[in-house]
Structure 1
Amino acid sequence: MTMFHLDSPTQWRSPERASQRDRIEGKLVEVGMRAAQLGVDVVLDFGFWAKDERSALRWIAESLGVRTQVVYLSVDLDEQRRRVSHRYESGPSHFRLSDAELEQWQEQFQAPDQEELQGGAIPSPPPPHASWWSWACERWPSLPKERSV
């Protein structure tokens, strides 16, 4: 499935694409939570690089009475390099990711700790947010401002 028609291998980095991605992710969260409330098993898999993202989604799900599980599969940097190289070689139209970018992104990733993986307590939202819902609406701007999911 193509989300962004005729993207070049570098256009995915643009601020416009980041804004669109955040809005699309927000809609996926909204639809996913509604489906989960109906008893459908839902897997949200679009990064969750930051603990705050995972905490917000765990909080939203918990507030809806939905059970959550954080699943993390660790992949070392050498394997990531191999996969990126293979992806690009198999289709040069795939976005290009330099080794320096890969290392920079790896530094930004916050791996879940054991407490998070075991479903431990959800921390408080970061200031200035009074709730995880407020934080989530800022992170994913397409979420409804009033909690309806």
Structure 2
Amino acid sequence: MTMLFLMIGLPGAGKTTRARQLAEEHGALILTPDEWMIPLFGEPEADGKRDVLEGRLLRLGLEALRLGTNVVLDFGCWSRDERSAIRCLVESAGADCRLVYLPVDHETQRARIAHRQSATPDQTFPMSEADLAHWRTLFEEPDAAELGGHEIGGPPPGWSGWLEWAADRWPSLT
């Protein structure tokens, strides 16, 4: 059965490095929005374009799974809802999903980001101390049950299913 490896973590956690290792080990297609955003738009967010790009990459990843290719999805997936929606979509594609969480302490995160910005400034974007602190407040750390692949709960109130939620989150998915 094909597998989608879903990378989870904050900037500087080592997600892309681990994603490349997983892609090599499992002959997987790696989909990393950061590698597209700067060349296409010159910035990491670009007025909602990241959501559109992620939707297209997710759609491509689901098609690859259906065709028998493993996929590494290097989105970060800060929210439990994002992770649940992706797990549900992967299951509907007839594949398995493995969550790969890379926690990072604040000091290590700062050091890695500083190194990245000095070594490859054309491949990254500025991140302030305030950004890092704010992002930590938004990040929903996965618990053991979620990481263990236990049952996916229902979508948030007001949504009939995860596909509908995902199509709203990533407008270009459907």
TM class by shorter chain equals: 0.7 to 0.9
Cα pair 1:55 1:122 within 8 Å, conserved: yes
Whether 2:94 is the aligned partner of 1:65: answer: yes
Rounded Cα–Cα distance in structure 2 between residues aligned with 1:76 and 1:117: 19
1:1-149 equivalences under 5 Å are 3=37, 4-5=39-40, 7=42, 11-13=43-45, 17-92=46-121, 94-144=124-174
Kindly indicate which of the two structures has a greater share of residues assigned to strand.
2
Cα pair 1:12 1:18 within 8 Å, conserved: no
Q: Tell me, what secondary structure is at the counterpart of 2:98?
A: coil
Q: Cα RMSD (Å) of the superposition?
A: 1.7
**How far off is 1:64 after superposition?**
2.2
CA deviations 1:23-48 (Å, max 9, x no partner) are 11111111101111121111111120
Q: Tell me, what secondary structure is at the counterpart of 2:49?
A: helix
Rounded Cα–Cα distance in structure 1 between residues aligned with 2:60 and 2:41: 26
Query: Which TM-score applies when normalising by structure 1?
Result: 0.84
Larger Rg over CA atoms: 1
Q: Tell me, what secondary structure is at the counterpart of 2:76?
A: coil
Rounded Cα–Cα distance in structure 2 between residues aligned with 1:42 and 1:92: 27
Structure 2 unmatched ranges of 5 or more: 1-34
Rounded Cα–Cα distance in structure 2 between residues aligned with 1:6 and 1:81: 25
Corresponding letter in the other structure for 2:103: S
**How far off is 1:92 after superposition?**
4.6
Corresponding letter in the other structure for 2:148: Q
Structure 1 unmatched ranges of 5 or more: 145-149
